[in-house]
Every structure is written in C-alpha cells, then in structure tokens.
Amino acid sequence: MSKKNDIGGMNAAVLVRRLLFFVLLFGLVFFYLVLTFQGLTSAKGMEHAQLGREIARGNDYTTKMIRPAAIWQANNNAEENESGTEVQLDSFIDTYNAPLQPFIYSVVLKAVGGDEFANFQMTEDKNTIYRLDRVIAAISVICFLVAIGVNYLLVSRIFDVRIAGVTATLMALSDLMWKFTHTGLPQMLMLLLFSCAMFFAYRALEATIEGKSAMGSIIVAAAFLALLVLTKWLAIWLVVGFAVYAAFTFRPRGASSIIIVAIVALSSGYFMIRNIEHAGNIGGAASLNLYAGILDSEDGLMRTSDPSDDTYQVLYNLKNLILNTTRGILTQAHYLYNNLGAIVAAPLFFLALIHPFKRPSIARFRWMILIIWLFATVGMALYGLSSKSTDPNQLHILFAPLMTAYGLAFLSILWSRLELPAGGALIRYGHFVAIIALSAGPLVLTIPRGFKSGLARGDAEFPVWPPYWPPLLSRTLHNATTEESIIVSDQPWAVAWYADRHSIWLPRKVSELEDFESLAEEQKLIISGILTSPSSFEKNPLFKPSPFGKDEEFASLMLDPISITLSKGRSAGMRIYDPGLSSVISRYGELTPLFPGRIHYYSRQPIVTGN
C-alpha cells in the first residue's frame, strides 16, 4: 500500500480534509441535537427511556408502560406454573424489550440525576421539550459518531482511505441516520455493535485466506453480535446468517458456528430464564410479535388481554405466514433505497456482487454481507416492517455503510475505465463528488428550513406535536395523580416517560378494562382515569381513526369526548355516544380537556389543570 493511502499517513491536504470533516460533523450535531430538536419521536424510544429510569432507581427491570397482552401472558404463566410469579401492576417485569440499551440509559440517567423525577419536571409553560429527551438523543448521537469512526477503519482495511473517507462522509450526511438519533430507538447503538462485529469478521476472513487461525476474531465478532441481540431480539436473525456463513467458510467447519451460537445463547441465558419465569417462554411478550406479523398489527395484538381469542396459531395459518412474509419482503424491496439512508451508492452493492474482485477477502466478504442481510430481511418480514424508514424493526440501516463502500468501489472501477480527459482531482474523483451531492440532498434541503424555524422561534421550543405535548403529562397529569394511580391511555409510553406514572395501553374491550380495575383493586391500587390523545389517529388527529377503528368499543371515547359529556344530561350528546360505554362513563365521568379537541382525561375525580 502506498504511503498516501496509509491510514497513519498525514500531510497538509489530509489534515485540512479531516478538519473540514470534523467541522461538518459537529455542525450537524448542533443542527440536529440543539437547533431543530423537538423531543423523542418514537413510542418504543420513550419506552426504553422509562425502563432505563426504573433501572436507575434500583427497581430491577420493571416497566411503567404495560401491555394488556403481557398481563394476559404473565397471568396464564402464574396460573399454569406453580413457579410462576404473580402479576404486580406497580412493579411489572418487562419481558418485551431487549435489555442493553435501557441499561445504558440507566447509567447516564443516574449520572445526570434523571432518576429523580422532580429534577427534570416541566413546571413552566415555556418549556415544552423534556430536557431528558435531549440526554437520550445525545447517547444515540455518540453511538453514531463512534460508528462512523469504526466504519472508516473497517472500510480502510477492506479498500482504501479514499473510499473510507467518502463512506464516512455519506454516513454523516445521511438524514435518516440523524433522524434515528431523535427516536430513542437502539439503531445507532446497533450500528456501532454490528460494525464492530463485521470488523472482526473481516479479520477472521483474512486470517482464513492466509491459512492462519481465525478463532480469536470469530469469538470477538460473536461477542459483539451477542451484544447486538441484547440490544434488539430481532437481531438474532443476523446471528443466524453469520453462523450459516461461518459453517461453510471457517475451519474447522461447523465448529465456529457452534461457538457463535453458544456465545449468543450464554449471553442471553439470564434473560431467557427471566422470561420463562415471568411469561412462560424464552421470548416473553416479544414472542407474540410473530403472530402480529401474520394476522394483525402489533398495536392491535398488544392491546388485547387474551390473544388466544383470535386463535393466533402459526400452524393453522401457514398460508397467511407465506403470503405475509412474501408481501413483507416485496415491501422491503420497494423501500430499500430509503431504508439504506437514501445513500445513492448503497444499492450499487448488488451490482458489485457480479464484479470479480481480485483480492479474495474483498470478494468473499461481500457474500457474508449478503447472506446476513438476507436472513435479516426474512426476520423483518416475519415480524413486520412498516413503510416508515424509522420503524423500530428497521435493520437495513445497519448494512448501509458496508453496502455503500462496495457500491463506491464498484463505481470507482467503472469510472477508471472511462476515457476521461486528463485533469485535476475533480476529474479523477468526480464520481465521488456526484454521489455525495445526490445523497446529501434530503439533508441539505432540511437545513435552510431548520435554520429559519430555529432562529425565528428564538427561546420558544415546540415538541413533537401531534401527538405529544410533554408539559401536560409532566406537570398536570403527574400532579393530579399519585404513585398508586394507574392511567389507561392510548399513549402509555408517553405517560410512563413524561408523567412518571404507571400506564396500561387502552384495551380493545370494556370487559378487559373492568378486569384491570379488579386486579388493581386487589393490589390496593386504583385506575384513576383514561387519557386519550392524537395517538389514536393518523394524519388528521380528529377524524381519521387509526389504529382505533370505529367498530372498537372505545372508539367514541376518542371521536367525540364532548358529546359523551353532554350525553349525561343532554340529548345533543347522543350523536356518537356508545351506550356500551355507559358503565365506563359512570366511573370516569369527569372530563378534563388538557388540550381542547386533542388530549382529554376522563377521571374519577375533578383535577386541577393549573400550576
């Protein structure tokens, strides 16, 4: 390798380029984390954050965001298994989420005093963005920045520093990756762990080709993959893909695959045992997502307290399994470009598969990437992946840097074969300039608008609305309830995070709510009220119900809360009022419009909405 391509080589031009890159990078950090930040955008991101806070408080792995399906699962396990643990609503063990990211959140929240709610409670009207949201986002940003560095080292090892530098630049200019830092989801931590795993997987491949022992690198790669699984259970599909490739590549054949699977299984063993204890199976509540991918949306499934009513049996729905999986794969193909961060070079990876790279390690590593990606694609199809590019199950973004590097290498080969006139750097590297310009489009287009809105609002801040208005939850709802209160809501993740109160996801049936009331009463707790919000609606927060359809028993609770109030004494209120809700309204008859027309709280007693 020539000196100019040596990672350790340094000259004035290289120094200037790196300084400009870091200026760009930290400018984007300021833009996304300070100037345009509006709070966490993902429900599961908020759920992870409140889990982290409970861990920081020493409350074990308990959650304040409770799924009706998880209650059903835990109750069944307690009844069928003598060793099962009785359900406790005020200390509900979470069996849905992978633990690593909440544990990382807990360390940071403890360090900044976030375990004490009063330290960050939103008591002033002008503060509409929860300060801990920015702390959570900062953790993702740090993981993202480190992931850029790891990918620079990896791509430099595979190709050269030029392709590595362009790959790092394209990562920094990916609007989707920055959007993930706002969600609170673990994708940026996963990107870092996956990149580290691939770094050592590539070293193992190099060692195998050279006839050396690769076991050390394989073990380290497996350790990072184990951490990846502990970050998101769906990542087990990536492990399966790597194990399959290892079985046919690394010597002794088969042994490396057994070691990979054993490391991942041992690292997850404690949590599997815990899930068996509290939920009756190793997958916990997350195992129900397979049925959601086949027959129903995840939201619909998790809001029922008896999934068995709908016969969620894979064996009896093989046709649906095949059709939905096929549809899921085709949908992923349709949105693949966006899910790869809208980086123009990334899809070129698939063209690079047909190019005969001379170096064996480069040629064989691309097949490893492809096999792992194919298994990940099947996993996402089985468990469901929406068209939203920041979907919690979106794993394509993990492959974007490596696919981009191969795409850039393939494009460079084609570019070198063009009969271009002799010229300067612009002629030699014009393809890089074009790729960067095209890929940076989504981000560049947001910058002027972001600066304009950021400067125009001055000290004023605006949250992610609709559907979230944190001050109403952090101040009004928190102060109107007690530690013994449980709030039923269509956005329980927000209630748990912003209001620091236990919240059950609004069930689909009135009878299920009554069961929860009885369970709470037995445990000397109380369901204090029902909170409805724009989370019940999509696009139009008033008139287009989703996921709560008009045929659901609680539909009118969201559609026309004012008419329900009037129905107690005025015939005008009978427009939408569902008589089946009469018993609910009799218990939660005090309607408080926290945000008129948008957020309403039905409580047993009147509440004070002021400071």
Mean pLDDT (whole number) for 201-209: 96
**Residue, of 421 and 200, whose pLDDT is higher:** 200
Quick one: which of 498, 604, 599 has its CA closest to 558?
599
Assess whether pLDDT exceeds 60 at residue 548: no
Mean pLDDT (whole number) for 374-391: 90
Assess whether pLDDT exceeds 50 at residue 412: yes
- Strand-pairing partners, residue 489, are 505, 531
Domain containing residue 236: 3-38+133-450
> Do the beta carbons of residue 374 and residue 395 sit within 8 Å?
no
Amino acid at 171: M
Q: For residue 198, tell me if it sits in a domain.
A: yes
- Give Cα separations from 463 to 52, 145, 466 (angstroms): 22, 25, 8
**d(C-alpha 399, C-alpha 24), whole Å:** 23
Mean pLDDT (whole number) for 543-569: 56
Residue 186: its pLDDT value, please?
Answer: 97
Assess whether pLDDT exceeds 60 at residue 41: yes
Residue 480 CB-density burial (10 A; 0-12 exposed, 13-18 middle, 19+ buried): buried
Q: For residue 69, tell me if it sits in a domain.
A: no
CA dihedral (103, 105, 107, 110) in degrees, to 10, reads: -130
Residue 230: its pLDDT value, please?
Answer: 97
Q: For residue 207, tell me if it sits in a domain.
A: yes
Q: For residue 354, tell me if it sits in a domain.
A: yes
In sequence order, what DSSP letters do the residues of 201-216 get, joined into one string? HHHHHHHHHTT---HH
Assess whether pLDDT exceeds 60 at residue 569: no
Contacts of 564 (CB under 8 A, 6+ apart): 556, 557, 573, 576, 577, 581, 585, 591
Average of per-residue pLDDT values in the chain: 86
Contacts of 305 (CB under 8 A, 6+ apart): 68, 69, 71, 72, 507, 509, 512, 515, 516
Assess whether pLDDT exceeds 90 at residue 52: yes
Quick one: which of 154, 148, 223, 153 has its CA closest to 181?
148
Q: What's the distance, CA 504 to chain centroid?
A: 20
Q: For residue 557, tell me if it sits in a domain.
A: no
Residue 245: its pLDDT value, please?
Answer: 96
In the structure, what pLDDT confidence band is assigned to residue 546 with cuts at 50, 70 and 90? very low
Q: For residue 95, tell me if it sits in a domain.
A: no
Mean pLDDT (whole number) for 262-279: 92
**Residue, of 233 and 449, whose pLDDT is higher:** 233
Residue 102: its pLDDT value, please?
Answer: 97
In the structure encoding, which two tokens stand for residue 282, read together? 């190793």
Pairing of strands 590-595, 62-63: unpaired
Count of Cβ atoms closer than 10 Å to residue 316 Cβ: 10
User: Which of 402-416, 457-471, 536-550 shows the lowest per-residue confidence on average (mean pLDDT)?
Assistant: 536-550
Count of Cβ atoms closer than 10 Å to residue 565 Cβ: 19
Pairing of strands 526-532, 485-489: parallel
Q: For residue 59, tell me if it sits in a domain.
A: no
Mean pLDDT (whole number) for 188-216: 96
**d(C-alpha 353, C-alpha 363), whole Å:** 8
**Residue, of 359 and 417, whose pLDDT is higher:** 359
In tens, the pLDDT along 356-369 reads: 999 999 999 999 99
**Residue, of 562 and 438, whose pLDDT is higher:** 438
Q: For residue 529, tell me if it sits in a domain.
A: no
The structural domain count of the chain equals: 1
Assess whether pLDDT exceeds 80 at residue 202: yes
Pairing of strands 502-505, 65-66: parallel
Assess whether pLDDT exceeds 80 at residue 597: no
> Do the beta carbons of residue 384 and residue 328 sit within 8 Å?
yes
Instruction: Among 234-248, 267-281, 286-300, 319-333, name the most confident range.
Output: 234-248
| Dihedral sign of CA atoms 425, 426, 432, 437 in order | positive
| DSSP H helix total and E strand total for the chain | 29, 8
Assess whether pLDDT exceeds 70 at residue 551: no
| Dihedral sign of CA atoms 544, 550, 552, 556 in order | positive
**d(C-alpha 164, C-alpha 408), whole Å:** 9
DSSP 146: H
